[in-house]
């Protein structure tokens, strides 16, 4: 943040190129959906035991996103880094 009124600056600098992220990213997946690609996903748990937890984990393409093992609540999964499993990579033979 620069000096000055941040709200005013935001209005003045509005342009077609602004890269503000929407409040809810379009690529958020939830418990019960299937992973579209293999990769590192950020797992967000917003109401676990009264608090929010976040951790990154590797999930393979086609896997069903799990729920919280403790409270059974729905989780959010955000793809951070697509990573091909070696079995999905045509550069390698079995």
Which residue ranges make up the site for Zn ion (CB under 5 A)? Answer: 48, 68, 70-71, 73
Q: Which residue's CB is nearer to Zn ion, number 29 or number 48?
A: 48
Closest approach of Zn ion to the CB of residue 64, in Å:
17
The CA distance from 81 to 58, in Å, is 9
| 72: Cα separation from own chain's centroid | 19
Residue closest to Zn ion, measured at CB = 68
Question: C-beta of 56: minimal distance to Zn ion in Å?
Answer: 17
Residue 64 is classified by DSSP as: B
The tokens for 53 are 């937890």
The whole-angstrom separation of Cα 51 and Cα 66 is 19
Smaller CB separation from Zn ion, 38 or 65? 65
To Zn ion, the closest distance from the beta carbon of 16 in angstroms equals 40
Nearer to Zn ion, 32 or 62 (CB): 32
How far apart are alpha carbons 51 and 87 in whole angstroms? Answer: 37
Task: Specify the residue, 25 or 70, whose C-beta has the smaller distance to Zn ion.
Answer: 70
């Amino acid at each position: 943040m620069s000096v000055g009124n941040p709200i005013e600056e935001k209005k003045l600098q509005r342009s077609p190129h602004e890269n503000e992220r929407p409040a809810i990213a379009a690529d958020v997946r939830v418990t019960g959906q299937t992973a579209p690609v293999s990769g590192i996903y950020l797992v967000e748990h917003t109401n676990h035991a009264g608090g929010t937890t976040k951790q990154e984990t590797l999930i393979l393409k086609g896997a069903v996103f799990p729920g919280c093992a403790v409270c059974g609540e729905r989780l959010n999964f955000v793809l951070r880094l697509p990573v091909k499993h070696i079995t999905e990579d045509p550069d390698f033979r079995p």
